[in-house]
Amino acid sequence: MKEIYLDNAATSYPKAPGVAETVSHFLSSIGCNVNRGAYTKAYQTEEVIYETRELLCRLFRFDKPENVVFTKNVTESMNVIIKGLLKSGDHVIVSSMEHNAVMRPLNNLRARNLEVDILECNKEGALSPDQVESLPSLIQANTKAVFMTAASNVCGTMLPLKEIGHFCRMNNIFFIVDSAQTAGFTEMDMNWLNVDALAFTGHKGLLGPQGIGGFLVNKRIEPSIEPLIEGGTGSFSELETQPACMPDKFEAGTLNIPGIFGLNAALKYLFKVGIDKIREQELHLLNLFMTRILEIPSAQLIGKSDLQDRTSIISINFPKHDNAEVSYLLYKEHGIMTRSGLHCAPSGHKTLGTFPHGTVRFSFSHFNTEEEVLKVIDCIWRSLNTL
């Protein structure tokens, strides 16, 4: 049975051409550390790492490669930012569509006197202009930051970063964005959006390997974030305290260099193909899927039913069935890989009215084909008839 992978929101597969070969080349032919040894390979490796920071600057229209910090993923980046920035007595605002990568560390700090307010999204997972206008009513004297995902990982709805970013800047509040579901799908301009810190993960839309991600911080926010992890950086070895210079301040310990090499290859692929082309193909597949799924009476589309301001993630509820059973049957009988349940975003599901039963999530990549989409629709019909 030929398998069809539709779980790209969890992690993309296949990865960009050249990623596996580049990681393998690093491990088999280079393999050294950086900032430690004074030999050619170490310098060449440093160049690739710096070039990767520059590629990320190009991706997010940012102008300070030294303020691009590597971590494992968005989860680690958000933990560093949240725990390094927020103090007892601070107040923050989040959207109701946030992933647990943001919700859990924030809720942990609630026990230590952090105040958290939630800006409720509507039934489509969106923030209408009215809801954006309600933001000022949530602001307090101690409001330090707004955290917001660029797009929901449950239903693909994008949030109005431009409006929120403008509001934050006008009110001298930090704006911190989770780009897990939009990086590689849409262009983002940190300066234009007034984003102070942006967290990214390499293994989803960026088409790189797992275990490499990071964050970009501007000059406004960087001095306010204390490092969460301290240790050897290869630099300033005479110091027994963490260096304050960037990116060393946040990059203690040996980096995931094979991962950075893989991400470097993935970013070059994205720029070669063009993010616009990738988005066009994904939305084309989504449109086909959406049109056909609406013909199935027992399938309920969750979130937006148009292509405006959304990614290619789509969630379906099968009210007459157990969503987990539908997802399982699609895999067992037809080799179709989806993800059912709450997708690490219980708050988002509460907003969408799908808590606690969740949905079946289908998430496309530009490597998927029309033929696959049509086969998936056919298999959904057949699976529902056997349940």
Ligand X SMILES: Cc1ncc(COP(=O)(O)O)c(C=O)c1O
Which one of 75, 186, 218, 338 is in contact with ligand X (CB under 6 A)? 75
Query: According to the binding rule CB under 6 A, does residue 101 interact with ligand X?
Result: yes
Query: According to the binding rule CB under 6 A, does residue 181 interact with ligand X?
Result: yes
- 138 vs 344, which CB is nearer to ligand X? 344
Query: According to the binding rule CB under 6 A, does residue 99 interact with ligand X?
Result: yes
Query: According to the binding rule CB under 6 A, does residue 363 interact with ligand X?
Result: no
Query: According to the binding rule CB under 6 A, does residue 354 interact with ligand X?
Result: no
CB of 213 to ligand X, least distance (A): 6
- 124 vs 178, which CB is nearer to ligand X? 178
Which one of 73, 96, 157, 233 is in contact with ligand X (CB under 6 A)? 73
Which one of 22, 45, 79, 153 is in contact with ligand X (CB under 6 A)? 153
3-state secondary structure the chain: CCCEECECCCCCCCCCCCHHHHHHHHHHHHCCCCCCCCCHHHHHHHHHHHHHHHHHHHHCCCCCHHHEEEECCHHHHHHHHHHHHCCCCCEEEEECCCCHHHHHHHHHHHCCCCEEEEECCCCCCCCCHHHHHCHHHHCCCCEEEEEEECECCCCCEECCHHHHHHHHHHCCCEEEEECCCCECCECCCHHHHCCCEEEEECCCCCCCCCCCEEEEECCCCHHHCCCCCCCCCCCCCCCCCCCCCCCHHHCCCCCCHHHHHHHHHHHHHHHHHCHHHHHHHHHHHHHHHHHHHCCCCCCEEECCCCCCCECCEEEEECCCCCHHHHHHHHHHHHCEECEEECCCCHHHHHHHCCCCCCEEEEECCCCCCHHHHHHHHHHHHHHHHHC
Which one of 67, 143, 149, 157 is in contact with ligand X (CB under 6 A)? 149
Restricting to residues 258-277, which ones interact with ligand X according to CB under 6 A? none
CB of 201 to ligand X, least distance (A): 3
Which one of 8, 96, 201, 359 is in contact with ligand X (CB under 6 A)? 201
Query: According to the binding rule CB under 6 A, does residue 338 interact with ligand X?
Result: no
- 153 vs 194, which CB is nearer to ligand X? 153
- 212 vs 380, which CB is nearer to ligand X? 212
Query: According to the binding rule CB under 6 A, does residue 180 interact with ligand X?
Result: yes
- 210 vs 254, which CB is nearer to ligand X? 210
User: Which residues would be at the binding site for ligand X (CB under 6 A)?
Assistant: 73-75, 99, 101, 149, 153, 178, 180-181, 201, 213, 344
